[in-house]
Structure 1
Amino acid sequence: MNIASFSADDFNVFKIDGLEPRMDALKVQIQPKLQALGEHFSQQLSVMTGEEMFPHVAKHARRKVNPPNDTWVAFAANSRGYKMMPHFQIGLWETHMFIWFAVIYEAPNKVEIGRHLEQNAKQLIKNIPSHYVWSMDHTKPEVIPHDGLSVDDLNSMFNRLQTVKKAEILCGIRISREEAIQLNDDDFIKTINDAFEHLLPLYKLK
């Protein structure tokens, strides 16, 4: 299956009003691309992590009224689901695409992960590229630039992951819609590869 970069039409799906019309467009327009990304990068991430990684394309099945504002494919070492595991994501909002390492609130071992992250904060502050960003809520597009963060800033986020029930931590890159639609297919794959290589040390700290 060929991997195609995201197009303007893909981003425009999130301008469609109504749950059913937007979901129909997601299924036709975006999900085949996410499935192709899932097949390709699950193999690659399996090699990188040393664990069998399974792709999970977001179904948005719980939505009854509000249409989704973003969509993604997630990769986790579990064939049945990803939300309870540290995982990777590739996806898009109307304004940008994202590539994440993510630990979201359903993960039962958040406290342990947060502790490992805290123990390695000094290393992470140096090794994560300055243009990367952090998020503490996967449902919102707002991010915190890594550039300018101190070790104390990182530890504050990592401590929150350990102490707040609904806390989450995500790290990765966001690429504006304008930049994303300019990427040819080869550059698109290279960009994702590069992001996963930089995010792999975070995954290894789980």
Structure 2
Amino acid sequence: MFDKKDFQVFNDDTLDGRLNLIKSQLDPKFELFGQDLLKALETEYQQQFFMKIAKHQRRTKNPPPDTWLAINQDKKGYKKTPHLEFGLWPDRYFITFSLLADIRNRNNYYPILNEYQNKIITEGWGVSNDHTSSTLKKSADFEQVIAHYQKVKSSDLVVGFELLKDDPIVSEGNYDQMLKDKFLQLSKYLVIFNQEVDR
């Protein structure tokens, strides 16, 4: 399904051109891949999940720098809840678990982050305080990322995985299963954080 040609949508620097390429070339893949992820998640956890594919409707001038699908457990919307994303920057695929700056009941997630800090570091996920940046720091920086998230209200909390388009895996092709496996591995944090904060 996914291949190196996916990144060609970013070669068009016009708003309408890029949006049309995303809609025609990537969104159908997101829909198929996302439905497969939903099925796998609901089988694994016996819970309900919801998907949204980015439509970039608020953009009126500049083309979107990235595009994605998001999955969470609240059908009202994903941005104010813990959520997972799979998408593309011009130079990489990304799979992330995020708590954004304006998440509901933000303070309730701080002790959960501290509790799972060592596990996330041990598993080697990339980390960040900015969901609008393509770059993830090394997992060893997670303690600092958590501290920053707790002190700076405008910061995000991002945990994830990235696959560069120049990686030999992408050149060889046939990496859909790897992306799915990484997404499902990360999904446990979505479920755990929702369960812990609801207690």
- The TM-score bracket by the shorter chain reads 0.7 to 0.9
CA contact (8 A) 1:118 1:159 kept: no
1:71 to 67, 72, 75: 67
Segments ≥4 residues shifted beyond 6 Å: none
CA contact (8 A) 1:115 1:162 kept: no
CA offset at residue 48 of structure 1? Answer: 3.2
Matches within 5 A, 1:2-21: 4-5=1-2, 7-21=3-17
Matched, 1:118 2:107: no
Name the counterpart of 1:183: 173
- Compared CA separation, residues 66 and 44, structure 1 to 2 (3 A): same
Distance 2:15 2:179 in 1: 29
1:44 to 40, 43, 56: 40
1:35 is paired with a residue whose SS is helix
> Taking structure 1 as the reference length, what is the TM-score of the superposition?
0.84
Q: How many residues align?
A: 191
Please report the RMSD computed on the Cα atoms of aligned residues, expressed in angstroms: 1.8
Q: Deviations over 1:82-112 (max 9, x none)?
A: 1111111110011010111111123112222
- Compared CA separation, residues 30 and 200, structure 1 to 2 (3 A): closer
Distance 1:174 1:124 in 2: 15
Counterpart residue type for residue 179 of structure 2: I
> Taking structure 2 as the reference length, what is the TM-score of the superposition?
0.87
CA offset at residue 201 of structure 1? Answer: 4.0
CA contact (8 A) 2:83 2:98 kept: yes
CA offset at residue 46 of structure 1? Answer: 2.4
Distance 1:53 1:113 in 2: 20
Matched, 1:26 2:26: no
Name the counterpart of 1:135: 128
CA offset at residue 181 of structure 1? Answer: 4.8
Q: Deviations over 1:148-171 (max 9, x none)?
A: x1xxx4233223223322211111
Matches within 5 A, 1:151-166: 153-166=141-154
- Compared CA separation, residues 85 and 120, structure 1 to 2 (3 A): same
